[in-house]
Homo-oligomer: A and B are copies of this chain.
Amino acid sequence: MKKRAFPITILLISCISFTLASDAFAGDPNGNHTYSDSIQGLKFSVNFAWTLISAFLVFNMQAGFSFLGAGFVQKKNTLNYLAMSFVDFCVGALVFWLVGFAIMFGGSKIAPGLSSGNQFIGYSGFLLLGDAYDVSTSVLWMFQIMFAATACTIVTGAVAERFKFHAHVFYSVFLCSILYPVFGHWMWGKGWLEMLPIGAGARDFAGSGVVHGMGGLLAFIAAWVVGPRFGKYNPDGSPNVIHGHNLLYIVIGTLTLIFGWFGFNAGCTLAVTDLRVSVIAVNTFLAAASGAITLLYVSYYKPKKSDVIMICNGALAGCVAITASGAYVPHWAAIVIGMIASLITRYSLYFIENKLKIDDPVGAISVHGANGLWGLLSVGIFSDGTYGGVHGLITGSGWQLLAQFIACVTLIAWCFSVGFAFFYTFKRLFGLRVPVNVERTGLDVYEHGTSCYPGS
């Protein structure tokens, strides 16, 4: 456990950057060349404002995930969940600044300093130095780190209540430096999936696949490799319900996530000069609403209870699914997509807990993973051709659906090969799991030295 290495590495890298800072600035670090008192200049301003504020809203989803996950876990493990979901975005930011961003967007030429890269990997923009010290590149980085951080945090919930804190830190480093940026490059950095000569190329507007699908699939792998919580399954394989400790946090978390999701989806145009943003925002809201109401009534019948967790899961499932397709589909389709997403979630929750016997305390695999894939596919079905030249089945063309299907298969293959290799290797080398007696007494005191609610 070379824990000492980490801060030293950062220090070392900082020193190197210090030296590099003497570079001539070829980018535009103060915007004086980018902005001018003209239509073109104002376009930059208004799009900067839009993208940055959207990024801030996406950042606030971290508060949403904190509430949501804290509500789902037991009292004795609350602080551990909060610490993991806080630290992952901090580590993620540093790593994404160091290498992740360069791998993901190098070669995309979306902003200055991102010129080198091919269809499989990017390799320019490291440390936002040189040409990448530019106002346009910074705005892209700001928006994209929030997405990487989201993918990272999604896994946290699925491994809660038994994962080692420092294993989570290492996993965050790996995700934000390799796992996420490489697939992200394929999809968003002018990579081979985006450039696929089928339909309009694989399309994942705001990251159903890139962010939520990846987060959810890695959650699946991590939860599978680390194993279920002590006491989750009886000797006969039947699962026990382990109640969370605060459903108010779950509801507030869901609301906070939806709030951030508006920035997540509508902000993904990176430009409010693209007026489609309004359709995207409406689609996001409608999918959330229809997901919530569908799952409310679908889960109502048997116990005659209105299950609040299912209402929240339904809303989030709708949001996840519409993330890929929100820009391409008409409003009615957003409602249908949300309904189907909520049904998928319900079945997936049952299947994963009872059949696969994988223990996912917050339902991240079903909400983010299953619906991430469904979101990708929904682009191929419901796109009406009004935006981005994307035509789905409802316009009579099946090619887009094929492209989306290829993206799904690729995502699954990527996560299961590299993700599994990482978690399995880490488990063998260092162990992923706290000792069983710690799990019983709670991780908060063991990992963090205090309970979340001292004195109560």
The residues of A with any CB-CB pair to B shorter than 8 Å are 3, 6-7, 10-11, 14, 17-18, 20-21, 25, 28-31, 34-35, 37-46, 48-50, 52-53, 55-57, 59-60, 62-63, 66-67, 70, 74-75, 78-79, 82-83, 86-87, 89-94, 97, 127-129, 133, 135-136, 138-139, 141-142, 145, 165-166, 243-249, 251-252, 254-256, 258-259, 262-263, 266, 272-279, 281-282, 285-286, 288-290, 292-294, 296-298, 300, 303, 305-308, 311-312, 315, 330-333, 335-336, 339, 384, 386-387, 394, 447-456
Q: A25-B386, A63-B255 are in contact. List 16 more A-B contacts (CB 8 A).
A: A10-B293, A14-B336, A17-B332, A20-B332, A45-B275, A52-B262, A55-B262, A55-B281, A75-B456, A87-B306, A93-B286, A97-B286, A127-B331, A133-B330, A243-B450, A306-B447
Considering the chains assembled together, what is the distance between the CA atoms of A271 and B49 in angstroms?
10
Let me know if B273 and A86 touch, CB within 8 A: no
For A92, list chain B residues within 8 Å (CB): 289
Interface of A, secondary structure class, is helix
What residues on B are CB-neighbors of A451 within 8 Å? 247
Tell me whether A45 and B46 are in contact (CB under 8 A). Answer: yes
Number of copies: 3
- CB of B277 within 8 A of CB of A87, answer no
A43 contacts which chain B residues (CB < 8 A)?
A: 37, 42, 45
Whether A308 pairs with B59 at a CB distance below 8 angstroms is no
Q: Does B452 lie within 8 Å of A141, measured CB to CB?
A: no
